[in-house]
Amino acid sequence: MLETNPPRSENVIAETVGGNKDSVLVIGGHSDSVFAGPGINDDGSGIVGILEVAEQLTGYAVNNAVRVAFWAGEEFGLLGSYYYTENLSAEEAAAIRLYLNFDMIASPNYILGIYDGDGSAFNQTGPAGSAEAERFFEDFFATNNLGSVPTDFSGRSDYAGFLDRGIASGGLFTGAEVVKTQEEFELFGGEVGVAYDVNYHLEGDNITNLALDAFEWNTKAIAASVAEYAVSFDGLGPVNGTAVPARRKRAVPAHKHNHEGGCGKKSM
């Protein structure tokens, strides 16, 4: 369902008081849903997972600043995240060492998908550091005796603007309207030939239609990544000293609409 005439909304962004402000980890997901459904998986699941990690983080000191972003207007064309990334100065963009996106992490017929930062599966390599972020999540799931699969940087979620600015990106995704394969069934169980989330953008995307095991493991993976990169970015390799300017014109996913967004910020 195409969304038209979105109401005005704002990003909500919080940042740790401590940590190096020139060496920042950003984690985010979108706070809106389509008109047709309540959006509990898309993306209430990502928002709640991030909130839980952010709450726990308040009890720890960090070396690198951690910025938590709840993006507005994703369903209307990635409005909030594009507004944010397109308005970063070159210095602000260079300070962000890594962006991690968590959009739909509890799909009922889930995969444990990791964005393909090294391009080995979908031939779309992310900026320097993206491959290492992918490998971090692969190692996390493998250490916990869980399978994982790559998912492509299709441009359908809020990492898109960060990729445009040459910022290392990664994250997790449990699937939307694509159907599960036999190979994925052997890794994750569920139902072959059925969409990862049959309630995607529909009324059934509610609290009763979530894979809580996937949600728990993905939230633990979020926590592990924050624990890693809030301390050190050494695992990402050397700093990429050049930020890619924001594109003047950008492609909006076919099921989205372009519209002006806004941004608000607070500290935690």
DSSP category for residue 239? -
- Rounded to an integer, what distance in angstroms lies between the CA atom of residue 195 and that of residue 69? 28
74 is a catalytic site residue: yes
**55 contact partners, CB below 8 Å, separation of at least 6:** none
**Partners of 179 in beta bridges:** 195
- Rounded to an integer, what distance in angstroms lies between the CA atom of residue 233 and that of residue 139? 16
Active-site residue, from 3, 15, 55, 74? 74
DSSP category for residue 76? G
Give Cα 48 distance to the centre of its chain: 13
- Rounded to an integer, what distance in angstroms lies between the CA atom of residue 15 and that of residue 202? 33
Residue 42 phi/psi, 5° resolution?
-110, 85
- Rounded to an integer, what distance in angstroms lies between the CA atom of residue 257 and that of residue 35? 14
Among 229, 241, 84, residue whose Cα is nearest residue 164 = 84
Active site residues: 74
